[in-house]
A and B are shown apart, each in its own frame.
Chain A
Amino acid sequence: MASPMRIRARAEGAVADVRVLMAHEMETGQRKGSDGKVVPAWFIQEVVASHNGKQVMVAQWGPAVSKNPYLQFKVKGAKAGDKIAVTWKDNKGESRTDEAAVA
């Protein structure tokens, strides 16, 4: 099962700054393992962010995103206590959703 994300959201005036850390291998599919075989590609392809249930951003990622991805984005009009939710889905169909309150 996928590990939880770390989401920190902080209101700075009228905008909330959101920083997300995700636990994921992000295998490119081009690397050889210790057994000499190519490690199959395994990476997050989509990230969806929402604010109080309303989508604010949808991202598509390729295998070039670093392992244990870090993402920062900004949400307009988000106040302290508002809910920021992030969902990722990888190329194996696995997904994970976590939520945090704006501080």
Chain B
Amino acid sequence: MSMNRREVLKAGGGAAVYTALASMGFFAANPAMAAWNKAAFETKSIADTLKVLGVSGTANSADVVITSPDIAENGAVVPVGVASKIAKTEMIAVMVEKNPSMMAGMYEFGANAEADISMRVKMGQSSDVYALVKADGKFYMTKKEVKVTLGGCGG
């Protein structure tokens, strides 16, 4: 049942997409290596992350919406959704500023996907959650604060 990555790419005819993504700098250039962008997951600040991703500047946009609770009852599972209404959105990245590994996830979209994802992240403490969006070659960023509380009984 389980397929390795290359088989999936072949089966899905995704090699072209893969190359295209690699050229965008989000995946390692060498397809034989893991595509995972290690550097982007090791940054310690928003500024560093933007640098690693080759982002020189970002604009604010009301068309990028973060859906998350104001208070999370438990930091182990914090729902975060990001939707971009900006035309030609190619990528959404979700970052938690105060996490040791602040990059939570990066999503690259084909033309047949809507730029609208939801995921669940761990948060060690209350923090701003950032959404970085790339659309038509330009970058947009927005943020939302999520407070993490201690939920229930002790013991």
Question: Residues of A at under 8 Å CB distance from B?
Answer: 1-2, 15, 28, 30, 45-46, 48-51, 53-67, 69-77, 85, 87, 89, 91, 94-98
Contacts and interface: CB of A to CB of B under 8 A. Distances in A.
Interface residues of B, number: 51
A61 B8 CA distance: 18
Contact of A97 (B1, B35, B111): B1
Contacts of A58: 14, 17-18, 21, 107-108
Contacts of A66: 76-78, 120-122
B116 interface: yes
A83 B119 CA distance: 22
Q: Is the interface of A mostly helix, strand, loop or mixed?
A: strand
A76 B103 CA distance: 27
Interface of B: 1-5, 8-9, 11-14, 17-18, 21, 26-27, 34-37, 40-41, 76-78, 81, 96, 99-114, 116-123
A65 B104 contact: yes
Contact of A64 (B14, B27, B122): B122
Contact of A60 (B77, B105, B110, B116): B105
A55 B107 CA distance: 12
B81 A60 contact: no
A50 B12 contact: yes
Contacts of A62: 41, 101, 103-105
Nearest to B3: A97
> What 5 A-B pairs have minimum CB-CB distances, sorted nearest first?
A74-B114, A72-B118, A55-B14, A66-B120, A56-B113
A69 B120 contact: yes
A67 B2 CA distance: 20
